[in-house]
Amino acid sequence: MPGASPDEFHGGTGFAAWRWLGAHPRHQDGLDGYAFAVWAPHAEGVAVCGDWNDWRGEPLARDARGVWRGFCAGAEPGQFYKLRVVDVHGLAGERSDPFGFAHDLRPGTASRLCPDDTFAWRDARWLKRRAEVQRADRPLSIYEVHLGSWQRWGDAAPGYRELAPLLADHVARLGFTHVEFLPPMEHPYDPSWGYQVTGHFAPTARHGGPDDFRFLVDTLHRRGIGVLVDWVPAHFPRDPHALAFFDGTPLYEHPDPQRGMHPDWGTNIFDYGRPEVVSFLLASAHFWIASMHVDGLRVDAVASMLYRDYSRGPGQWTPNVMGGTWNLEAIAFLRALNRMVHAEFPGVLCIAEESTVFPQVSGEIEAGGLGFDYKWNMGWMHDTLAYFGLDPLWRCHHHDKLTFPFTYAHVERFLLPLSHDEVVHGKGALVRKMTGLWHHGLDQLRLLFGGQWLHPGKKLLFMGQEFGQDREWNQDVGLDWHLCADEARQGLLRWVAALNRLYRDRAALHAGDCDPRGFAWVEGANRDESILVFSRHGGGDELVAVIHHTPVDRPLHLVPVPALGSWRTVLSSALRSYGGDRAGLPPPVEAVVVGGRPMAPLDVAPFAVLVIERVAT
């Protein structure tokens, strides 16, 4: 099949190399066992040791291009194994399989033999409509999840199968279109949250085996919920059982320390100019989509890949061949990744976590772009949270923090993230970032989420924020679900569900997410009252957002609207059902001309988010 031949692996296009590298069940010479293949061109010897041979080791044979192969009779699914590698210096060490599909639970480092993939998928209906559902003009609302702390029972980490119905029910109830998992790949260090990967082809054993993860994905798909995973091609840890100096040489990492070691994270950086390394990474992406049925990859730390001088001072980096700062090999790899994903899996998403002004991250490759479907809008996130950290009394002096992100909202195809990174390492939960009186915290969370859902761009919210958890996230502790017994928290949950429902149901809020014609200012300069008014339109639909950022009650406030006529309120965050104090939606009002422009007398409550529409006449 395409991408699966040894020539393609050694040429940098072996995206299906996971189908033959690693360990695969075989019947050979009348015996059942496993065929093994591992790339280690500078090793002096490689042997497989495991449960079936009492860990004595069976030698593999090297081919002319550095791939070691062999067949081990008697090896059975579920047994543990390691690769005993005698490196270029004659030193022997035991390694996990770079292409292993399962690994021992930490602190164990062995790989585990898996049977052929025979999982009985029941998500054909979802896969058939995936490309349609994930178009840029369709809603994309993501619930970001850390599997180890979403739910916990005592000290036990939940299993994939136990999580599946609970997570599907919660996400469906709130109306999110997708779940995004922090890296579910095998990793040795819990506080890395999965971002220091040692098993690039294996779901972590913390929650079960590969088929258990498939069950989780399948359950979500059958409920109409897409699945994205964080994927980490930017770096890998130096644990001696994994990829680092695999055959005694910098094999997977770049040989130049300036380009092969990450100064911030103490990790190694992949050598994007080495064809086999490119094939390894492409194969990992291909595996998660083809074998695990995920619907997209959120590519982590793209900014660190794009620049040779990332987190490096003078004298700590060297320019590229053109004298610039760009990492040309990494750029070529990212384009190859996006070409492969979109060619092999139409409709599957690639999303870049990229925090700089690198041009055309979501631009077409043929036009010089990187080819991603979306880019995280980190500027919107930073400006918005900085604004909400201001006392409402002084927000009028910083109005541009609200309006500036709209000026570049369509420079890229953006996704608006309120992610795990904003609620950890001393940053506190989102509700604790809301400056002002404590009892205004949940009111302002409704305001924050309302602004996020009405702003152009796709949406992402980290778990726990949907009910206003006021404790900083800790990967070792489950979410504070007991808070949901509070009626105010239930109101916030109902508000998130209402936003998702409106976002999904009304084309005005999603069809123009990536189209500059889908947004227009009605009033963006009202800094004295800290009110934004803008229209969203698409698919023949139009809505107007009124967003008020102070605790002042403004009944019958004259709000600019695009036209005369009768205007009705479609959604209001001030309703009691959401945690406000208004009994119900007000009746439609007639716009009048004031100062030469149409104005509608609206009930603008403290910290209110209103969505209004013109009543057809």
Q: Verify that 488 and 531 share a domain, yes or no.
A: no
In CATH, what number is assigned to the domain containing residue 308?
A: 3.20.20.80
| Beta strands 92-95 and 261-262, pairing class | unpaired
CA-CA distances (angstroms) from residue 357 to 71, 333, 376, 412, 453?
50, 19, 11, 10, 23
Is 544 in a helix, a strand, or coil? strand
d(CA 605, CA 549): 10
Q: Verify that 69 and 39 share a domain, yes or no.
A: yes
One-letter identity of residue 35: A
Helix (H) or strand (E) holding 571: strand 566-572
Active site residue 117: no
**Average pLDDT of 146-169?**
92
Q: How many CB atoms lie within 10 A of CB 290?
A: 18
d(CA 435, CA 453): 21
**pLDDT, tens digit, for every residue of 173-189?**
999 999 999 999 999 99
The answer to the question of residue 546 being in a domain is yes
d(CA 206, CA 160): 9
**pLDDT, tens digit, for every residue of 325-343?**
999 999 999 999 999 999 9
Q: Verify that 46 and 136 share a domain, yes or no.
A: no
Predicted confidence at residue 160, as pLDDT, reads 97
The answer to the question of residue 385 being in a domain is no
The token duo for 401 is 């923090």
| Maximum C-alpha span of the chain | 91
Q: How many CB atoms lie within 10 A of CB 393?
A: 12
**Average pLDDT of 216-242?**
98
The answer to the question of residue 126 being in a domain is no
The answer to the question of residue 233 being in a domain is yes
Structural domain that includes position 28: 22-97
One-letter identity of residue 220: L
**pLDDT, tens digit, for every residue of 431-456?**
999 987 777 899 999 999 999 999 99
**Average pLDDT of 335-355?**
98
d(CA 202, CA 287): 9
User: DSSP assignment of 44-61, as one string?
Assistant: SEEEEEEGGGTT--EE-E
Residue 545 has pLDDT above 80, yes or no: yes
Q: Verify that 503 and 535 share a domain, yes or no.
A: no
Is residue 617 very low, low, confident or very high in pLDDT (cuts 50, 70, 90)?
A: low
Active site residue 472: no
Cβ partners under 8 Å of residue 528, min gap 6: 396
Residue 154 has pLDDT above 80, yes or no: no
Q: Verify that 454 and 524 share a domain, yes or no.
A: no
Handedness of CA 460, 464, 467, 468 (dihedral sign): negative
Catalytic site residue from 212, 353, 412, 603? 353
d(CA 223, CA 169): 9
Q: Verify that 209 and 137 share a domain, yes or no.
A: yes
Catalytic site residue from 300, 329, 373, 443? 300
Query: Torsions phi, psi of 374, nearest 5?
Result: -145, 160
**pLDDT, tens digit, for every residue of 480-531?**
999 999 999 999 999 999 999 999 999 999 999 999 999 999 999 999 999 9
**Average pLDDT of 404-411?**
96
**Average pLDDT of 348-355?**
97
Cβ partners under 8 Å of residue 477, min gap 6: 149, 152
**pLDDT, tens digit, for every residue of 71-110?**
999 999 999 999 999 999 999 999 999 999 999 999 999 9
DSSP annotation of 196 = S
**pLDDT, tens digit, for every residue of 466-487?**
999 999 999 999 999 999 999 9
Q: Verify that 419 and 542 share a domain, yes or no.
A: no
If phi over 0 gives left and psi between -120 and 50 gives alpha, with beta otherwise, what is residue 227?
beta
The number of folded domains in the chain is 3
One-letter identity of residue 409: A
Of 467, 494, 509, the residue that ends a domain is 509
**pLDDT, tens digit, for every residue of 268-311?**
999 999 999 999 999 999 999 999 999 999 999 999 999 999 99
Q: Verify that 498 and 547 share a domain, yes or no.
A: no
In CATH, what number is assigned to the domain containing residue 560?
A: 2.60.40.1180
3-state helix, strand, coil in the chain (%, to 5): 30, 25, 45
One-letter identity of residue 475: Q
Can you name the residues that pair with 532 across neighbouring β-strands?
547
**Buried residues in 484-516 as b, exposed as e (16+ CB within 10 A):** beeeebbbbbbbbbbbbebbbebbbbbbbbbee
Q: How many CB atoms lie within 10 A of CB 525?
A: 10
In CATH, what number is assigned to the domain containing residue 79?
A: 2.60.40.10
Helix (H) or strand (E) holding 495: helix 487-505
Is residue 362 very low, low, confident or very high in pLDDT (cuts 50, 70, 90)?
A: very high
Q: At what angle do helices 378-388 and 441-454 cross, to 10 degrees?
A: 150
Contact in structure between 145 and 179 (CB atoms under 8 Å): yes
Nearest to 11 by CA among 327, 282, 305, 286: 282
Would you state the torsion angle of the CA atoms of residues 507, 513, 517, 518, taken in this order, to the nearest 10 degrees? 40
Of 481, 509, 537, the residue that ends a domain is 509
Q: Verify that 485 and 581 share a domain, yes or no.
A: no
The answer to the question of residue 45 being in a domain is yes
Contact in structure between 313 and 263 (CB atoms under 8 Å): no
Of 509, 530, 551, the residue that ends a domain is 509
Instruction: Kindly provide the residue ranges of all beta strands, DSSP E only, lying in 171-284, ordered along the sequence.
Output: 178-181, 185-186, 199-203, 226-231, 261-262, 267-268
The answer to the question of residue 318 being in a domain is yes
Contact in structure between 461 and 453 (CB atoms under 8 Å): no
Query: Torsions phi, psi of 605, nearest 5?
Result: -75, 170
Can you name the residues that pair with 226 across neighbouring β-strands?
178
Q: Verify that 493 and 524 share a domain, yes or no.
A: no
Predicted confidence at residue 118, as pLDDT, reads 86
Q: Verify that 136 and 230 share a domain, yes or no.
A: yes
Nearest to 229 by CA among 365, 350, 377, 123: 350
Q: Verify that 434 and 559 share a domain, yes or no.
A: no
The answer to the question of residue 13 being in a domain is no
Predicted confidence at residue 224, as pLDDT, reads 98
The answer to the question of residue 463 being in a domain is yes
